Structure 1
Amino acid sequence: MTEHKRVSERLPVPEAKPDHIADPVDVVPVVNIANALTVFRILLVPVFIVTLFVEGGHDTLWRLITTAIFGLAALTDRYDGRLARERGLVTDFGKLADPIADKALIGAALIGLSMLGDLPWWVTVVILGRELGVTALRFWVLRHGVIPASRGGKLKTLLQVLAIGLFLLPLPHPWEWLAWGFMIAAVIATVVTGIEYVWQAISLRRHSTSGASGR
């Protein structure tokens, strides 16, 4: 009995393994600061549209107000995603609502400027066509994988926001070249990144299909 007790004392005692099933699950609340900024941006879109067309759309004061609203909405786009990642506030609602808010704001601005005759329709068609096309591509390859946002895509968005902001401002005639410079750069970035997304989508489907056939 004594010998058995000594042997058992020398044997290592197994550590208790964590029971992950019993661990409490951290559920991210849908109502948080990041999602609130996204919803705020969506609510600003109809306000932006109304102010854009006040007094025929070319009143200096109202164009300054409209530009300020657009800038505020674009600013929320910069911070809602960052807050969600840094504070662990990423939700399915945010993943869905954030790109919708972005496209709604950019689309409303481009269409509004074209309706007022300040921006050629071909620019609006190219940019919005690319955005809708990339969205369709993401759904096309969804079961094969996810196409991540690229640095080029972020640069494209920045150029679009700057270009639209300059077109909204009641700039003196000699300064209109600055707005057009940014808009041309935005269109080029839009087309180039769109081609990159098409290539990524084709490659993703090809690798997924070849991997499945290999198994």
Structure 2
Amino acid sequence: MNDRPENSAPEQTPAEPSPWNVPNALTVLRILLVPVFLVLLLADGGQDMTMRWWALAVFLLAMATDKIDGDLARKYNLITNFGKIADPIADKSLMAAALIGLAMITEIPWWVPVIILIRELGITVLRFFMIRIAVMPASRGGKIKTVLQTVAIGLFLLLTPLAEFVSDGVNFALIVFAWLVMTAAIVVTIVTGVDYCVQAAKLAKDSHAANGSAGERPADGPPSGDGHTGPDPR
């Protein structure tokens, strides 16, 4: 017996929240902070220590908004299509600006941003093309990669302005630690990139197999024989 009233209205999909909300505002703020961060970092070729401290502060503020806007969007159901597009753009723009800026002032070699940014751009394009087949969610390794990249960049931003306040031994230890974290970030970046490619290949193969099976399925009709539907003559 069906307990549902016959005249009840069909369930409707909840409307998407308005894009004019706090999480999206924080995402836009993070995008606007990118050029501010670059100007501060590159001031006097990266040798203006006051500006370097401000650059570090802006970077940490921007990364904090990344955590806050995601938590608010999930907690209060404020996830919007604008946020889905703008949030990764903001994240990758900030990371790219920091890595390229550090390379421009020769505090990291150029191969570091080249490796990381090629991976980020490549996986972004891959996920875009895979939308037609399946959504590829962010992996746990991807989150670890983001944390390692953030810590590594923060350390390299800190090294030069902090050097005048610590001994040579402490400064050397910080440089070694910063490179260990950056190396870990690069390794995880490459490994997760390969993992995404493997996932994409598997999803594409499964989708092709499913489509092939659907195409080979026989149409409804007589099961076999001459199609006789009358009484059995025997």
State whether TM-score is above 0.5: yes
The letter of the residue matching 2:9 is: D
The C-alpha deviation readout for 1:65-96, integer Å capped at 9, x for no partner, is 10010000011111211211111101000000
Count of matched residue positions in the alignment of Structure 1 and Structure 2: 203
The C-alpha deviation readout for 1:130-151, integer Å capped at 9, x for no partner, is 0001011112211110111001
State the shift of 1:24 in Å. 9.1
Which residue is equivalent to 1:18? Answer: 8
Which residue is equivalent to 2:21? Answer: 32
The C-alpha deviation readout for 1:172-197, integer Å capped at 9, x for no partner, is 33121111111001001100100100
The letter of the residue matching 2:10 is: H
Q: Measure the CA separation in 1 of the matches of 2:183 and 2:99.
A: 14
State the shift of 1:16 in Å. 5.6
Q: Measure the CA separation in 1 of the matches of 2:78 and 2:8.
A: 26
* TM-score of the pair, normalised by structure 1: 0.89
- The worse-fitting range, judged by mean Cα deviation, of 195-204 and 166-175 is 166-175
The letter of the residue matching 1:68 is: A
Q: How does 1:12-161 map to 2 (within 5 A)?
A: 15=5, 18-20=8-10, 25-161=14-150
Contact 2:26–2:69 (Cα < 8 Å) also in 1: yes
Q: Measure the CA separation in 2 of the matches of 1:35 and 1:18.
A: 36
Contact 2:16–2:80 (Cα < 8 Å) also in 1: no
Q: Measure the CA separation in 2 of the matches of 1:52 and 1:73.
A: 14
The letter of the residue matching 1:142 is: I
Which residue is equivalent to 2:212? Answer: 213
Which residue is equivalent to 1:162? Answer: 151
Q: Measure the CA separation in 1 of the matches of 2:91 and 2:140.
A: 17
Between the aligned residues of both structures, percent identity stands at 50
The letter of the residue matching 2:184 is: A
Which residue is equivalent to 1:5? Answer: none
Tell me, which stretches of 5 or more residues in structure 2 are unaligned?
164-170, 215-234
Structure with greater helix share of residues: 1
The 1:109–1:210 alpha-carbon spacing in structure 2 relative to 1, beyond 3 Å, is: same
State the shift of 1:18 in Å. 3.4
Q: Measure the CA separation in 2 of the matches of 1:185 and 1:107.
A: 18
The letter of the residue matching 1:193 is: T
Q: What's the RMSD between the two structures over aligned residues?
A: 1.8
